[in-house]
Amino acid sequence: MAAPTRTPTTPETGSETRSRPVMLVTFDVPFAPGAAELAVDAAVEAGQALIVVNAARVELGPISLAMKYEYVGTQEVEDALARPAALARELAVDVKRLRVCSPRPVAALLEVVHEQRPALLIVGPDPTRMRRRAYRKATRKIREGVDCLLWFASD
């Protein structure tokens, strides 16, 4: 009697098996200590891309639209965003930087999260640089609105 043979199985290929990046987010303030390093380490360890996002509040009233006001960031925030991106590139990680400008930055961020489908979302703004109530409200909405692993900077 011949031994049974097994047909090797291969994983299905499709959108569910595509790589899922690590996403590092701030709300127009520098990162909390350790947040950027955690994001870069996670991207390197997982062999995945790093997406660095700054979600900024920009009012879109009639006057601001007529005067063509745009987002104007500070050099401090720009430097904070550039550091983890540069470190990740040095470690051969693909990096994408996004700026999300909206009157409702958390809602806009959630749209980006759903589009990018990160495996890990690191919400890393320095909580001491934000109003406490705004930070708590943002983290609550993010917890309710995503289906990936989360890490929050603590205050």
pLDDT digits (tens, 9 = 90+) for 124-144: 999 999 999 999 999 999 999
Structure tokens given for 86: 């540069």
Tokens of 24: 């590092």
> What pLDDT, on the 0 to 100 scale, is given for residue 58?
87
Task: State which residues form the domain around 55.
Answer: 20-152
Residue 28's contacts (CB-CB under 8 Å, 6 or more residues apart) are 54, 55, 56, 57, 73, 77, 105, 125
> Chain centroid to CA 119: how far?
10
Contact at 8 Å (CB) between 120 and 22?
A: yes
99 in any annotated domain:
yes
Question: Which amino acid belongs to residue 40?
Answer: V
pLDDT for position 72: 72
Half-sphere exposure of residue 44: CA atoms within 13 angstroms, side-chain side: 14
Looking at residue 60, what is its pLDDT? Answer: 73
Q: Does residue 2 carry a pLDDT above 70?
A: no
* Residue bearing the bigger pLDDT, 56 or 6: 56
- Model pLDDT, residue 13: 43
Residue 59, pLDDT score:
79
Please report whether residue 9 resides in a domain: no
At residue 25, the pLDDT reads 98
* Domain CATH number, residue 26: 3.40.50.620
Question: Mean pLDDT throughout 82-105?
Answer: 95
Task: Tell whether 11 is covered by a domain.
Answer: no
Count CB-CB contacts under 10 A for residue 138: 21
133 domain-assigned: yes
Of the pLDDT bands very low, low, confident and very high (cuts 50, 70, 90), residue 151 is very high
CA distance 103 to 60: 7
Contact yes or no for 112/52 (Cβ under 8 A): no
pLDDT over 90 percentage in the chain? 73
Res 16: pLDDT: 47
Is it the case that residue 74 has pLDDT exceeding 80?
Answer: yes
In a domain, 14, yes or no: no
Q: Into how many domains does the chain fold?
A: 1
4 within a domain of the structure (yes/no)? no
Stretch 19-36: mean pLDDT? 96
